[in-house]
Structure 1
């Protein structure tokens, strides 16, 4: 005779699964609170985390840019193999990024540090499911927000000329172009990245993970490389935009407005996916001619 499981047994099983989920992140969260609670509670921490992540990523990609002309193993992954990122390009983009951070980001962070009380930290870590769903949820919401903002700032001429045209000075983006932005655009991007985890009531650990993920994929979109580990290669069915699609946006500014996913551009009829430009470098052409 087949014996049906009792509801109590199901509850125990579900409780065990929930406990197992929570136990995966709880030791990490306990360690962070016990050893770095003062740092984590500071209103400056999210700013430092975001800026540090960005600097590490652009340093990596900038080194790749400087090595690419003489290292074929790197150059082969460039979307535009005839492109050379010069020290002048680096200086110009880095100067504006530094200016924006010193004039806008740093004073705003100091104001929060002076006037905002330390952030309370929950004692319990999020479950793995809540953590992952929170990061995905924030990414989806941010993607929709920026898609509308981006579309509007291309369709309305005054908005484009006043706020967004600066970002399009480079038709072949590289990593430092990520934050080659007007103060208005930088403010909007930073506001949504901060507000979306609050809107979705995410755990602060989830909010920080989303912040890192957001900076990572934004930098990857502008990096100018099509590496095998790129997000658009890891996510199937063409659901993710990635560096190739965003590079196409800089080539054809009326297309590919969504920052991360591809579905809004599909639905809006603004999607395009031209083949990557694989132009031989002058050195290769000279070698072939010889």
Structure 2
């Protein structure tokens, strides 16, 4: 990793990397790319009993149709173009970032990414509980996301513009507080996106991360939140829900 960013900038790509439109475009394309395997699983579910057996059983029904996927894609795209792209471009222009000469060490990258995940998980838990406990916030920010009683991968970001912007602010605040190297920040956003997609995918997969790391909730944990609404507020880890008595095992 050492020297990678410097070499990229020397090759004439620095203007692209510092473009105010790159963060939102990269985030949207990454989200869609990470959802693609689950679109394939949903398509295979109509013909493969093995794939159907991986679906979370709590009233999940058949996999979402291609039409539902496309409608969700258009909604997410619209909110990125009208809200996330202008907001990230404005933030980018105010921050005026610069590329460092060297990439972080592997240890520095791991510590920074892990710290960001823990901090984001904490901030999201507080904000998520608030959106559910304050009626005005729920009606005007979070209710749209809960139209998906049985979520699927692409629905991870199917939220109103205000909620998407608030989550963006939480993620950016986490990297700012930790003082991340730009490369660590990129890795954090990638892992953050993947965990959100996996949480909403609707599948209890044999190789899912929460099966390897018991501290993670996973898709069944988050689907319990979409079913019951008053449990499992943390996005990824389970410790805050356990401490505050809002933890509920898979329904």
Q: State if a TM-score over 0.5 links the two structures.
A: yes
Query: In 2, Cα distance between the equivalents of 1:183 and 1:55?
Result: 18
Question: Is 1:43–1:119's contact at 8 Å kept on the other side of the alignment?
Answer: no
Matched, 1:188 2:161: no
Structure 1 residues not aligned, in runs of 5+:
1-24, 276-290
Matched, 1:121 2:99: yes
Matched, 1:69 2:43: no
Question: Is 2:32–2:154's contact at 8 Å kept on the other side of the alignment?
Answer: no
Choose the corresponding residue for 2:130, options 132, 146, 152: 152
Question: Is 1:49–1:212's contact at 8 Å kept on the other side of the alignment?
Answer: no
1:230-263 CA distance string (max 9 Å, x none): 120121xx31111110011111110000001000
TM-score with structure 1 length normalisation?
0.79
Structure 1 residue aligned with 2:191: 213
Query: In 2, Cα distance between the equivalents of 1:255 and 1:269?
Result: 9
Query: In 2, Cα distance between the equivalents of 1:159 and 1:100?
Result: 19
When residues 110 and 159 of structure 1 are mapped into structure 2, their CA distance, relative to the original with a 3 A threshold, is closer
Aligned length: 248
Greater Cα shift, 218-227 or 40-49: 40-49
Question: Is 1:43–1:118's contact at 8 Å kept on the other side of the alignment?
Answer: no
What is the CA-CA distance between 1:180 and the residue it aligns to?
Answer: 1.2
Query: In 2, Cα distance between the equivalents of 1:110 and 1:138?
Result: 22
When residues 110 and 162 of structure 1 are mapped into structure 2, their CA distance, relative to the original with a 3 A threshold, is closer
For the pair shown, the structure with the greater C-alpha radius of gyration is 1
Q: Mapping of 1:1-290 within 5 angstroms?
A: 25-35=1-11, 36-80=13-57, 82-111=61-90, 115=93, 119-235=97-213, 238-274=214-250
What is the CA-CA distance between 1:214 and the residue it aligns to?
Answer: 0.6
1:99-157 CA distance string (max 9 Å, x none): 211211233345467x4586311112211111001000000110001101111111122
TM-score with structure 2 length normalisation?
0.91
When residues 117 and 190 of structure 1 are mapped into structure 2, their CA distance, relative to the original with a 3 A threshold, is closer
What is the CA-CA distance between 1:227 and the residue it aligns to?
Answer: 1.5
Query: In 1, Cα distance between the equivalents of 2:118 and 2:249?
Result: 21
